Structure 1
Amino acid sequence: MLKGLFSKSSSGCLGIYLRPDYVALAVFEGGQLVSNKSVSIPSSEQWLTSISQLVSETGAKKLPVSLAISPHFYQQLQVDKPNVPNDELASALPFAIKDLITESVFELAIDYYDVPPVPMMTEKVTVVYSQKSIIQKAVDVMAELDLPINNIATEELALTNLMTAEKETQMLIHQVQGDDVVVSIVRDNMLYFSRKIRGFQALGQQVEPLDTFLMDGLGLELQRSLDYVIGQLKIADVSKILLAVPGESGDLIASNLSETLDRKVDVFQFQQQGVDVNAMPAIGAGVSQ
């Protein structure tokens, strides 16, 4: 779990997903998702206007919010956990990463979350860093709309909240329209591993017949991730694979991948109807833990 600025969401009535090209909002009542909406925007300069519009449409004014921000606005890397007391760890992070990045640490908002322990490996943390100006913009927008912020999550951690991976290893294959495919490995409700698979932006636009070259390439990359679970993470093999991609061909893509990987791939299902795959990070940010 991220320890400060960026964290897994714990509670709240709103989840908001911030991207440079659209924003999505999810409304919860009594811990249940009751509404989800998204709107396209030309740039992050329209966050205030677009979120105000969504809040007005849903009647979700002055409710606490958990934010998820897209990877466009942050980077992350794993480092050995600094050998300092836990209450000093946050202040030690800039020194741990300053030689590994090109940005000035003084211009960054920096936080971390623990990497689940792996046998025979040094204890590590995943450091997340973003330009302070981006985080401040998000904070200012929420303040302007009188939406108190509970916490801020990375996209990967927001999606982890939607998994029910207790005592089993699950893989989530997720894509926002036009973006890279993101693969996450979750076990015991902890994010063990995530990676972007580039070159498959057209996946959500597939129709029958599927592009054989594209699907074979994706299958190969997914198999590499499955092999990594056993070979490097040293945890139990993936027992459930879930697919969440935009478009109307989810079942067709899942069936194709099931044949390629020789294991069942299921389309991610929500209990509620009418859930937009592109709003999943907003839902994950706002879902009760």
Structure 2
Amino acid sequence: MNRRAEEPSLSIVMLTEGIYLSKVNPNSGLDSVSFYELTDNNWDFILSSALKENQCQNLNATVTLGSHLYQSFQLEKPTVPKDEWPVALPFLLKDLITERVTDIVADGVELGDSNKIQAYVVVKRFVEQLKQVLDHRNVKLLKISPEDEVWAHARQDVPAYMLLHRSQKSDFKIGAFVNQGSIFQRTIRGVESPITGEYANSLQIDALALELQRSMDYLSSQLKQVQINKLFLCCDDENNEELREALQERLNVMVEPLLLVDTQHQSGEVLVNETYQLGLKGANLYPPHLQPKKEMFNLDVVAASWLVLFLIMMAIYSVYSYKNHQLDEQISAASQQANQLTSELTVLKNKLSAHKPSPAKLAAVERLRVDVKTKQKSLKVISSFDSELQVGYSGIMSGLSSIDRSDISLTSIDITDGKMNIQGLAKSPEVIPSWVQQFKNEMNLVGRNFESLSIGRDENNVVIFSLRSKSGDRD
């Protein structure tokens, strides 16, 4: 089965004695482990030679560092999100390290249910140099793991255990692990390997057992809810079975080899396999902010973009060409229709010019039109006159008769164009205004105003009066 591009296909372990390297076979897992001894401090040259010898190109690598290449600290759990730990931890560790904050790389893992984390620190210059060596061989660096983090996952079937391990050219180390988390690391000084086989030394074994017991007692006092009752062994240059029996006699915990197989492997070989099994889980001393940003526009992406753009442009061109073709057909049809209508217009104009009326007929029509207008005006005047007569005379006479009084006698009533002039006799002058006031009670007389009132006496000394209506006063 082919692995995804971001899965490791090369496992590298860098310990004190040298570099262990193994490629991943897609069908059978890890190939055999190759070892390259380090002399002086030329690890970059040795690693480059090892990659070239094993034809390691276009691979994804995970690297495990020996404890001599990093530092570890236990800290209170930061309050920042976990994905921000690689950026925040250098500032939290600045009082515990001698390097500047900008010169280190850090990451950490949580310690079980406690409120602490295990933090790991490596020099940034080392990470950059390691990446440069791998890039030279087109090997992509995915992860850098500390050795203790890999040992913590070596026996996932045991929730809590101690591990006594030693690689070539290094001291004995004690590690304690709970729920795949490293909670304790210690290097034992003064015990020189080998201490088994032909170099067996009971005093050395006693010293080693004493240091182990001290570490167990310390852990017992620190871990209230966890009991560690197993000790695993993985020591290079030692007879692990002989060492197991010697420590079993001196300690009150179960002592077993780390690996379940009978064949004894070097620590570096074990770490290569465990690093491969661990994959990308756990602490990573190659955090995302150091990794190269993924190029959004490489050659393949640009070529694909141009192809997609070309196809889009061709599709747009095809659509507009089709629409233009349809519009051309519509224009052609409209032009034909316009030509047809123009022809019809020409025919109709010819017919119109052929049907012009004669001057005699036009003059007769004009005379008839004038005659009609004259008769319409006459009818209108007659209708108006009839209406005024019907309303004016009969209404006024009816209204005057309704207010007939014995002290007023009318001698003359003149109604012309809506104006009303009245002349008459009165018993006395003062009855005339009261009589006029009664006009407002009659519908046909209400609203009539008079422009002048003249009162006098005739030769018989009888009071006469004359009322003249206002100009424009209409019924």
TM over 0.5: yes
CA–CA separation in structure 1 for the residues paired with 2:69 and 2:181: 23
Q: Which amino acid aligns with 2:254?
A: K
Q: Quick one: percent identity of the two aligned structures?
A: 24
Instruction: Provide closer, same or farther for how the CA distance between residues 104 and 26 of structure 1 changes in structure 2, counting only shifts above 3 A.
Output: same
Q: Which amino acid aligns with 1:53?
A: A
Once the two structures are superposed, the pairs formed by residues 230-241 of structure 1 within 5 Å of their partners are 230-241=220-231
CA–CA separation in structure 1 for the residues paired with 2:186 and 2:7: 27
8 Å contact kept, 1:15–1:287: no
Query: Could you list the per-position Cα deviations for residues 157-187 of structure 1 after superposition, in whole angstroms to 9, with x for gaps in the alignment?
Result: 1222322244x31221110112122222223
Once the two structures are superposed, the pairs formed by residues 20-31 of structure 1 within 5 Å of their partners are 21-29=17-25, 30=27
Of 80-89 and 35-44, deviating more is 80-89
Of 225-234 and 172-181, deviating more is 225-234
Instruction: Provide closer, same or farther for how the CA distance between residues 268 and 86 of structure 1 changes in structure 2, counting only shifts above 3 A.
Output: closer
Instruction: Tell me the equivalent position of 2:177.
Output: 186
Q: Which has the higher contact order (CA 8 A, sep 6+)?
A: 1
CA–CA separation in structure 1 for the residues paired with 2:264 and 2:24: 15
Q: Which amino acid aligns with 1:159?
A: W
Is 1:15 aligned to 2:8, yes or no? no
CA–CA separation in structure 1 for the residues paired with 2:199 and 2:41: 37
Is 1:177 aligned to 2:168, yes or no? yes
- 1:79 positional shift: 1.6
Q: Which amino acid aligns with 1:78?
A: Q
Instruction: Tell me the equivalent position of 2:186.
Output: 195
Query: Could you list the per-position Cα deviations for residues 118-149 of structure 1 after superposition, in whole angstroms to 9, with x for gaps in the alignment?
Result: 3xxxx122222221111111111111122222
Instruction: Provide closer, same or farther for how the CA distance between residues 54 and 235 of structure 1 changes in structure 2, counting only shifts above 3 A.
Output: farther
Q: Which amino acid aligns with 1:255?
A: E
Instruction: Tell me the equivalent position of 2:379.
Output: none
- Counterpart selection for 1:72 from 42, 64, 68: 68
Instruction: Tell me the equivalent position of 1:215.
Output: 205
CA–CA separation in structure 2 for the residues paired with 1:80 and 1:90: 15
Is 1:156 aligned to 2:152, yes or no? no
Instruction: Tell me the equivalent position of 1:135.
Output: 127
CA–CA separation in structure 1 for the residues paired with 2:86 and 2:263: 41
- Counterpart selection for 2:117 from 125, 132, 141: 125
Q: Which amino acid aligns with 2:241?
A: D
Q: How many residues align?
A: 273
- 1:55 positional shift: 6.0
- 1:264 positional shift: 2.9
CA–CA separation in structure 2 for the residues paired with 1:190 and 1:147: 29
CA–CA separation in structure 1 for the residues paired with 2:232 and 2:16: 26
CA–CA separation in structure 1 for the residues paired with 2:197 and 2:48: 32
- 1:11 positional shift: 5.1
The structure that is helix-richer by fraction is 2
8 Å contact kept, 2:76–2:116: yes
8 Å contact kept, 1:74–1:129: yes
- Counterpart selection for 2:244 from 236, 254, 265: 254
Once the two structures are superposed, the pairs formed by residues 268-283 of structure 1 within 5 Å of their partners are 268-269=258-259, 271=261, 273=263, 275-283=265-273
For structure 2, the 5+ residue unaligned runs are 1-5, 280-475
Instruction: Provide closer, same or farther for how the CA distance between residues 241 and 208 of structure 1 changes in structure 2, counting only shifts above 3 A.
Output: same
Instruction: Tell me the equivalent position of 1:47.
Output: 44
| Structure 1 segments of 4+ aligned residues over 4 angstroms from their partners | 270-274
Q: Helix, strand or coil: the match of 1:47?
A: helix
Q: Which amino acid aligns with 1:259?
A: E
Q: CA RMSD in A?
A: 2.7
Which structure has the bigger radius of gyration? 2
- 1:155 positional shift: 0.9
Is 1:38 aligned to 2:35, yes or no? yes
Instruction: Tell me the equivalent position of 1:3.
Output: none
8 Å contact kept, 1:28–1:35: no
Of 228-237 and 25-34, deviating more is 25-34
8 Å contact kept, 1:158–1:284: yes
CA–CA separation in structure 1 for the residues paired with 2:179 and 2:156: 8
Instruction: Tell me the equivalent position of 2:79.
Output: 83
Instruction: Provide closer, same or farther for how the CA distance between residues 205 and 231 of structure 1 changes in structure 2, counting only shifts above 3 A.
Output: closer
8 Å contact kept, 2:56–2:137: no
Q: Helix, strand or coil: the match of 1:135?
A: helix
Instruction: Tell me the equivalent position of 1:242.
Output: 232
Instruction: Tell me the equivalent position of 1:108.
Output: 104
CA–CA separation in structure 1 for the residues paired with 2:258 and 2:81: 40
Of 273-282 and 155-164, deviating more is 273-282
CA–CA separation in structure 2 for the residues paired with 1:187 and 1:11: 27
- 1:270 positional shift: 5.6
For structure 1, the 5+ residue unaligned runs are 1-9
Q: Helix, strand or coil: the match of 1:287?
A: helix
CA–CA separation in structure 1 for the residues paired with 2:260 and 2:22: 13
8 Å contact kept, 2:177–2:183: yes
CA–CA separation in structure 1 for the residues paired with 2:217 and 2:265: 32
CA–CA separation in structure 2 for the residues paired with 1:212 and 1:235: 34
- Counterpart selection for 2:219 from 216, 220, 229: 229
TM-score, normalising length: structure 2: 0.52
